[in-house]
Amino acid sequence: MARCYQCGKCSAGCPMGAEMALPPHDIMRLTIANDRERLFNDDSLWLCLTCETCSARCPNDVDPARVIDALRELAAGEGAEHAPRNIRAFHESFLEQIRSTGRLSEVGLIMQYKLRSGALLQDVAVAPAMLRRGKLPLRPQRIAGVGEVKALMAACERERGARAAPAAGGAAAPGAGATGGHHNGEDAR
Ligand code: SF4
Ligand code: SF4
């Protein structure tokens, strides 16, 4: 992170840059400055699509996409108020699907998202057509190594808990480590 010299190439290529109050170069600057308050009280972290364009464009081998992923986990660990409800619902549902089957089940993801977000009737009108066309397989597929996925995610949770304990009494540097992937399925606003 210290290699970031604020050239802005990451933000210039970011497909969500226009929607973010804090585009990736600003996120990098605030992370280096350890400004948790501004980082965690802004929706920008949660608008990132993890497309990794910013990381690919960086001339100095900084990895803003990975930093943002880590910041999201830190923010989520500090409290639900740090993420818009629908994005947090999607984030948690996505991870839960990966934890339980090792891959994404569209139907499972939709059901969990709806329960968590409260958006029970959103998009229900398109479901019959998607089912007819085979776009929503009803039977979740489980990968052979799902046990390893569970163990990996459990280890990440333990590590996050261990990091959060000392941070609760003082300021830990943001961006200390990622514990899970993230994909936004919906706009926060
Ligand atoms: S992260 Fe890379 S591309 Fe973005 S401002 Fe810093 S040096 Fe430039
Ligand atoms: S990974 Fe996130 S911050 Fe980076 S370019 Fe993609 S949307 Fe923008």
**Which ligand is in closest contact with the Cα of 48?**
2
By the 8 A CB rule, do 69 and 39 touch? no
If you measure from the C-alpha of residue 48 to the centroid of ligand 2, how many angstroms do you get, rounded to a whole number? 5
Pocket test for ligand 1, best of 1, 9, 27 (most atoms within 8 A of CB): 9
How many angstroms does the Cα of residue 19 sit away from the middle of ligand 2? 11
Instruction: Out of 69-73, 144-148, 165-169, pick the least confident.
Output: 165-169
Q: Is the sign of the CA dihedral 187, 93, 68, 167 positive or negative?
A: positive
Q: Is 62 in the pocket of ligand 1 (CB under 6 A)?
A: yes
What tokens appear for 77 in the block?
């660990």
- Atom 5 of ligand 1, nearest CA residue: 6
Lowest-confidence region among 57-61, 68-72, 180-184: 180-184
Per-residue pLDDT at 1? 84
128 vs 161 pLDDT, higher one: 128
Q: What is the mean pLDDT of the chain?
A: 83
Measured CA to CA, the distance from residue 167 to residue 163 in angstroms comes to 6
60 pLDDT above the threshold of 60: yes
Q: Which long-range contacts (CB under 8 A, 24 or more apart) does 13-19 make?
A: 13/53, 13/54, 13/56, 13/57, 14/53, 14/54, 15/49, 15/51, 15/53, 16/47, 16/48, 16/49, 19/47, 19/187
CB 58 less than 6 A from any atom of ligand 2? no
Q: Using 50, 70 and 90 to split pLDDT, how confident is the model at 80?
A: low
Encode pLDDT of 92-134 as tens digits: 899 898 998 898 888 888 889 988 888 888 888 888 888 888 8
Distance of CA 59 to the CA centre of its chain: 24
Q: Which residues contact 48 (CB under 8 A, 6 or more apart)?
A: 16, 20, 24, 65, 68, 69, 72, 182, 184
CA of 53 to the centre of ligand 2 (A): 6
Total-model pTM: 0.69
Residue owning the nearest CA to atom 4 of ligand 2: 54
Q: Are 30 and 64 in contact (CB under 8 A)?
A: no
**Does 58 contact ligand 1 (Cβ within 6 A)?**
yes
Cβ–ligand 1 contact at 28 (below 6 Å)? yes
Pick the residue whose CA is nearest to atom 8 on ligand 1.
Answer: 7
Q: How many Å is the maximal CA-CA distance in the chain?
A: 54
